[in-house]
Amino acid sequence: MKKLSEYNRKRDFDKTKEPEGKVKKSGKELHFVVQKHDASRLHYDWRLEINGVLVSWAVPKGPIADTSVKRLAMHVEDHPMDYIDFEGTIPKGQYGGGTVMVWDTGTYLAEGSDDVAESEKMLRKMHKDGNIKVVMHGKKLKGSYHLVRMSGKEDEWLLLKGKDEYADKREFDQHSVLTGRTLEEIENDNKSEVWQSNREEKKSFHGDVDHILDEEPEKSSQSQSKSKSKPTAKKKTKATEKTETLTSTKNSPTFTAEDVAAAKVRKTFPKEWKPQLATLADAIFDSDEWVFENKYDGYRALIQIHKGKVELVSRNSLSFNSKYKELVEAFSIIKDDMILDGEIVVEDEKGLSHFQWLQYFAENPNRGKLKCYVFDILYFNGYDLTSLELLQRKRILEAVLPQTDEIIYSGHIAGEGTKAMKEAEAKGTEGLIAKKITSHYHVNKRSKEWLKIKVTKEQEMVIGGFTEPKGSRSGFGSLLLGYYEGNDLIYTGKVGTGFNEDSLKDMYEKLTALVQKTSPFKVKPREPKVHWIKPELVAQIKYSEWTETNSLRHPVFIALRTDKKPKDVKKEIATPTDKVVPEEKGKKEVKKTKAIEKAEESTITKTSAKAKEKPADETKTGTPKAKTVTKKKSKTGKPGWDTEKVEVTHPEKVFWPKEGYTKGDVINYYDEMAKWILPYIKDRPQSMRRTPNGIDHEGFFQKNVAGSAPDWAQTEKIHSDSTDEDIEYLICNDKETLIYMANLGCIEINPWSSRLGSLDNPDYIIFDLDPNETTMENLVTTAKKVKEILDTLGIKGYLKTSGGKGLHIFIPIKPKYTYEQSRDFSHIISQAVNNALPKITSLERMPKKRIGKVYLDFLQNGKGKTMSCAYSLRPRDGATASTPLEWEELDEKNFTVKNYNIKTLPERVKEKGDLWEDFFDNAVDLKELLDKLG
């Protein structure tokens, strides 16, 4: 790298306020910046954080998104990390004299890595080798980019766009991502000062209003009414305001005196204000009188900034400051007095928000990115803006709000609610907030000028008790739920799904701390073995519908809401949209899609103000209509599907971005492979693992299909001892049901180990060999040892790839023994393998205690536990499949699981047939086996 000493040598820090070069250690993320630099010649400076400095290249023609274009990139001296938010003017006569804009900034990782420490190590080697490959997460630059040193050249490199979903021929916006200014505006704004960091005090607004809002409120009010000499801009027409969309601003945002002319002067700072609330509506609509914003999955907050002090205040007046200190620091760059309205979220690296991550952010700050989406402004420097119309407030907000990694302006779509809802479903937001363009801000009130239209149905509920756990479940069985009518807590049923081991433990600790002897409900529920608690906890519950008995159907626990008061929890009934937004002359027809009330396919992913329209997600269950689906071409080159029963939706949706495989490819695969797969899933309950947005997005399991499976599909109700509830499982006995599951996003097929008629008695035993950072040689050696031991008992072990990194060995058994007995046998054999290979195998459940070893997971043998079946695809890189193998194929030198995938399997079975064809014919008697061992 070119040392910082070269950077320092070229600059006179008495004449330029550029930061002096100092190495800084990397934080939790690796950052980059691209600066547009109008020096002796216009160019772009591309800077990557490596080893505590910004390693830099000058790119004369600027960044590209087109993979066919190459850009010359000249390697220049390293710059200090403090340079990352440098925007301003370097004095003439100084090195690099001219205007600098922060054209784009964000985080990045080395291509092929999702870990910062690993990326740093890879980047050092890449830089030394002259071949840098990174994945950018900027506001403009996204996806793969490569910097390659030209042969025989020291400083001459090439910048290229890698092939991915972000590659296209777009023209980038040429405004600063920090301040929205052009180069010319930055130059004009900085004529009075040489350089000003975005993190220091600055004016986020500019234009005619600067001199007005800097004055005392009383004086400013007089100047507005009397002075005609001050410059103003023409007020936008109603038509312009109606159609204006601020999701992507082409011009630098400004506002004028006329924007605040109607605002009230307020002498005291209104700390007592609470946010306006929206009314639940039942359907989406189109109307030129409304705009549509994303509904965020986080905590609502008012951001109060007064005399340099920042307060993040929840909707019930609690402070978020200690919990989200990073946001307090982020907003502290604002020096004006203001009150903002926004939503605090935590997003993963894909931009998906996770409410539970937000809840426990203080305990685990490294998990996800903390952000605040800001969508309204209520107060600014002595002016009460609540009486202004919505678009006036948003125009002011965009002008004064600094854009940083943590603070994001929330845009909107005007008029086109149906389009906005499709985008919301495709990107996985909670839904939309519809706002009337002419609406004022109603402090601490619920208004019908703001409507919330949800993708999925959710209801806040107060927890009043819990039941004892059953079976293998720990902590508790179900939560007893209710809502308030006046002072009465009304019982609405219980919820026992949506928990994992960690959340069960955490919830149980909270419940036991609130135990009381009496029921808090108006009418005591008739539930056995109930522990009553003080009604102080509020839960967010997802459900399909309200029943006639006032209960939630198919409730699923999402998270606790610490920002909601129990007494504020009421039963939310959706207002008919046509009652709030009546059809009027000149207004577009209300689209009664009833998306909120139908179990249509949708999902929960991230919001973005502006994105290409994508197909709707398939997260909610839905009953497809009968429809003939014609055959289609696919990425894999296989023939399409053909069924009279299943309506296939959005086959073009990409499930594997890297390979380009689509949902249609998955359906094609299962259509072609049905005859090979069905013998291994017939008559077995399906625990559907759904990944409706592809492998880069978090999937989920769905067991209960009550009310959602098509009429022609076979289902079976099975009682769950852990939740004391009946669960209606899907039974896949034919190709149509298999394609129905694939259409729901089931890349992976996960049947029970037992069949209908003998659900308590499995008909095979599983040996799951799970490598934990060990070698292929160790994995193969372990599998062969299992075979060796089984051979001595006269048992044929059936081998397959897991479809992931491991191997599975199955033994068919007669279905007359319990799951406990099958697990005991697997445990005995696993112990024998571990005793023979103690250095490379482990029975330790904690992953950190078995690093470098093959885990012998005998616990996969349990009722309701599932394993990907033979020939099942897996949501993994390469679209791998769980593939039956001949033992002779297990060669540690040449064997690789990636050879068995969505493209190779159909040809493989045509060549080799089903290697497990005699599987169920060779079922062994478990008692006889145990007798041999005994």
Query: Does residue 742 have a pLDDT over 60?
Result: yes
Query: Does residue 19 have a pLDDT over 70?
Result: no
**What percentage of the chain's residues is helix, strand, coil (to nearest 5)?**
20, 30, 50
- Position 640 scores a pLDDT of 46
695-702 own/partner pairs: CB under 8 Å, 24+ apart: 695/655, 695/656, 695/657, 695/747, 695/875, 695/876, 695/877, 696/350, 696/657, 697/350, 697/352, 697/428, 697/603, 697/605, 698/348, 698/352, 699/745, 699/747, 699/875, 700/619, 702/621, 702/744
Query: Does residue 708 have a pLDDT over 50?
Result: yes
Cα separation values, 431 from 421, 427, 498, Å: 7, 10, 21
Query: Does residue 674 have a pLDDT over 70?
Result: yes
Cα–Cα dist 513/411, whole Å:
43
Any idea which of 38-47, 374-383, 876-885 has the lowest mean pLDDT? 38-47
Across the range 633-662, mean pLDDT stands at 71
The CATH code for residues 457-560 is 2.40.50.140
- Position 834 scores a pLDDT of 92
Query: Does residue 376 have a pLDDT over 50?
Result: yes
Across the range 815-842, mean pLDDT stands at 91
Nearest to 59 by CA among 166, 158, 206: 158
- Position 78 scores a pLDDT of 86
Query: Does residue 225 have a pLDDT over 90?
Result: no
Express each pLDDT in 593-629 by its tens digit: 333 233 222 222 222 333 333 344 444 333 333 332 3
Across the range 235-248, mean pLDDT stands at 31
Express each pLDDT in 55-102 by its tens digit: 999 999 899 998 888 899 999 888 888 788 888 888 776 767 788 999
- Position 548 scores a pLDDT of 63
Express each pLDDT in 536-593 by its tens digit: 999 988 886 677 677 887 788 888 888 788 998 998 877 777 666 765 433 344 343 3
Cα separation values, 109 from 106, 144, 246, 606, Å: 11, 10, 30, 20
pTM: 0.41
Across the range 35-52, mean pLDDT stands at 89
Express each pLDDT in 476-529 by its tens digit: 889 999 999 989 999 998 888 888 777 788 889 999 999 999 999 999 988 888
Dig out the tokens for 548 from the structure: 């006639």
What integer best gives the mean pLDDT of the chain? 79
Single-letter amino acid, residue 93: G
- Classify residue 585 as exposed, middle or buried by CB count within 10 Å of its CB (0-12, 13-18, 19+): exposed
Query: Does residue 446 have a pLDDT over 60?
Result: yes
Query: Does residue 304 have a pLDDT over 90?
Result: yes
Express each pLDDT in 199-220 by its tens digit: 333 333 332 333 223 333 333 3
Across the range 894-915, mean pLDDT stands at 91
Single-letter amino acid, residue 346: V
Express each pLDDT in 829-862 by its tens digit: 999 999 999 999 998 877 778 889 999 988 888 8
For residue 99, list its beta bridge partners. Answer: 38, 89
Query: Does residue 340 have a pLDDT over 60?
Result: yes
Angle between helices 663-677 and 735-743 (to 10 degrees): 150
Cα separation values, 553 from 236, 537, 650, 727, Å: 49, 21, 28, 12
- Position 456 scores a pLDDT of 72
The set of residues, in sequence order, having a beta carbon less than 8 Å from that of 502 and lying 6+ positions away, is none
Cα–Cα dist 569/56, whole Å:
54
The set of residues, in sequence order, having a beta carbon less than 8 Å from that of 431 and lying 6+ positions away, is 295, 421, 424, 452, 453, 454, 455, 456, 596
Q: Which fold has domain 764-933?
A: DNA primase, PRIM domain (3.90.920)
Percentage of the chain surpassing pLDDT 70?
80
Cα–Cα dist 480/474, whole Å:
17
- Position 611 scores a pLDDT of 31
Instruction: Check: CB of residue 574 under 8 Å from CB of residue 434.
Output: no
Dig out the tokens for 41 from the structure: 């010649």
| β-pairing verdict for 407-409 and 369-380 | parallel
- Position 757 scores a pLDDT of 87
- Position 832 scores a pLDDT of 92
Q: Where in the chain is the domain with CATH 3.30.470.30?
A: 240-249+257-454
- Position 632 scores a pLDDT of 41
Q: Where in the chain is the domain with CATH 2.40.50.140?
A: 457-560
Q: Where in the chain is the domain with CATH 3.90.920.10?
A: 764-933
- Position 705 scores a pLDDT of 85
Cα–Cα dist 798/869, whole Å:
12
Torsion angle, CA of 842/848/852/857, rounded to 10 degrees? Answer: 30
The CATH code for residues 240-249+257-454 is 3.30.470.30
Q: Cβ atoms within 10 A of the Cβ of 233, count? A: 14
CA torsion sign, 728 to 732 to 733 to 734? positive
475-479-480 Cα angle (round to 5):
145
Across the range 712-725, mean pLDDT stands at 80
- Helix residue ranges per DSSP H, 324-467: 325-331, 355-359, 390-400, 417-427
Across the range 332-352, mean pLDDT stands at 89
DSSP 919: T
Query: Does residue 247 have a pLDDT over 60?
Result: no
Which carries the bigger pLDDT value, residue 631 or residue 331?
331
Query: Does residue 192 have a pLDDT over 70?
Result: no
Across the range 857-874, mean pLDDT stands at 89
Strands of 624-680 (E only): list them. 654-656, 661-662
Dig out the tokens for 474 from the structure: 């720990």
- Position 12 scores a pLDDT of 53
- Position 398 scores a pLDDT of 86
- Classify residue 456 as exposed, middle or buried by CB count within 10 Å of its CB (0-12, 13-18, 19+): buried
Instruction: Check: CB of residue 342 under 8 Å from CB of residue 303.
Output: yes
- Position 472 scores a pLDDT of 65
Across the range 435-455, mean pLDDT stands at 89
Which carries the bigger pLDDT value, residue 554 or residue 187?
187
| pLDDT interval class at 710 (50, 70, 90) | confident
Any idea which of 402-416, 693-707, 834-848 has the lowest mean pLDDT? 693-707
Dig out the tokens for 545 from the structure: 């519908």
Cα separation values, 829 from 156, 791, 811, 834, 846, Å: 61, 12, 12, 9, 20
Express each pLDDT in 458-486 by its tens digit: 889 999 999 988 766 778 889 999 999 98
Query: Does residue 863 have a pLDDT over 60?
Result: yes
- Position 97 scores a pLDDT of 76
Query: Does residue 914 have a pLDDT over 70?
Result: yes
Instruction: Check: CB of residue 338 under 8 Å from CB of residue 400.
Output: yes
- Classify residue 129 as exposed, middle or buried by CB count within 10 Å of its CB (0-12, 13-18, 19+): exposed
Single-letter amino acid, residue 244: E
Cα–Cα dist 312/798, whole Å:
59
Nearest to 440 by CA among 395, 397, 393: 393
- At 80 the three-state DSSP class reads strand
Across the range 665-681, mean pLDDT stands at 94
Percentage of the chain surpassing pLDDT 90?
38
